[in-house]
Amino acid sequence: TTPQAPDTTLTCRGEQFRLYLTDEAIQERLQEIGDAISEEYEGRTPILVSVLNGAFMVTADLMRYITIDCEIDFMKLSSYGDEKVSSGEVTELKRIDANLEGRDVIVVEDIVDTGLSMQFILNMMESHRPASLRTVTLLHKPTSNDTNVPLDYVGFNIPDLFVIGYGLDYGQIARNLPDIYILDEE
Ligand code: 5GP
Ligand code: MG
Ligand code: MG
């Protein structure tokens, strides 16, 4: 059988989205970031701090492209509820279990929009006194990042439009899509 091209449009919760980043493009970029991390952290054992729920998929894939020893732990935040725009309020729903003191911490996020969540996470991580602290985000909306939060590894800069798929939800659905879709404004 011939492989099917992914559908270029998709309706989710009554709204129209179009294909924006394919699984192949995402994997290719994660391989590059994994290579960079493996090189830069050679001889150390960094700990990836994955921010649930959205970042579970990017963390799992990125980790497989890291060829040095590394650890993983999870934290969970809530800011968006089920809306398409940020509530501007960040709360911690699950704390990190690992002791991060003196560790090389790499925070892994799915997307940085206003930057409020990442700023909140970085403040929290700093209080654990890690040896080093860096950030990975698969997606970044530069025009929306009012906080100018520092990002070390960015997969893709994207326009200030709502995206779904590859871990990113719309009212908790669509996380299972292998590709990323963007809201079609037309
Ligand atoms: P921020 O605090 O940077 O405004 O937003 C961070 C969180 O909001 C992300 O981790 C993600 O869960 C959610 N978010 C921001 N933009 C989008 C988007 O375009 N699509 C989806 N599905 N979630 C988003
Ligand atoms: Mg997130
Ligand atoms: Mg969400």
Q: Whose CA is nearest to atom 9 of ligand 1?
A: 111
- 134 CA distance to ligand 1 middle (Å): 19
* Torsion sign across C-alpha atoms 153, 121, 89, 57: positive
Supply the CATH classification number for the domain 23-79+87-160: 3.40.50.2020
- Over the chain, what is the mean pLDDT? 92
- Closest-CA residue to 122 (of 169, 54, 75): 75
Q: How far apart are CA 118 and CA 19, in angstroms?
A: 26
Any residues with Cβ below 6 Å from ligand 1, and which? 54, 79-80, 86, 109-118, 162-164, 168-170
Instruction: Indicate which ligand has the atom closest to the C-alpha of 82.
Output: 3
Q: Whose CA is nearest to atom 19 of ligand 1?
A: 162
- Closest-CA residue to 84 (of 176, 172, 25): 172
Q: Kindly write down the DSSP assignment for every residue of 148-180, as one continuous string.
A: ----SEEEEE--SS-EEBTTB-BTTBSTT-SSE
What b/e sequence results for 139-171 when a residue is b if at least 16 CB atoms lie within 10 Å of its CB, and e otherwise?
bbbeebbeeebebebbbbebeeebbbbbbbbbe
Per-residue pLDDT, 145 = 77
Q: How far apart are CA 37 and CA 80, in angstroms?
A: 30
pLDDT of residue 80 exceeding 60, the answer is no
Percent of the chain whose pLDDT exceeds 70: 91
Q: Which two tokens stand for residue 52?
A: 């649930």
- So what's the ipTM on this one? 0.97
pLDDT of residue 65 exceeding 60, the answer is yes
The residue whose CB lies within 8 Å of the most ligand 1 atoms, and thus the one to mutate among 110, 138, 170, is: 110
pLDDT in tens, 111-133: 999 999 999 999 999 999 999 99
User: What is the domain partition of the chain in residue ranges?
Assistant: 23-79+87-160
Strand order, beta sheet including 163-164: 9-12, 15-21, 180-183, 163-164
Q: Which two tokens stand for residue 98?
A: 């690992």
pLDDT of residue 92 exceeding 60, the answer is yes
- 102 CA distance to ligand 1 middle (Å): 29
Q: How far apart are CA 88 and CA 132, in angstroms?
A: 27
Q: Whose CA is nearest to atom 8 of ligand 1?
A: 80
- 82 CA distance to ligand 3 middle (Å): 6
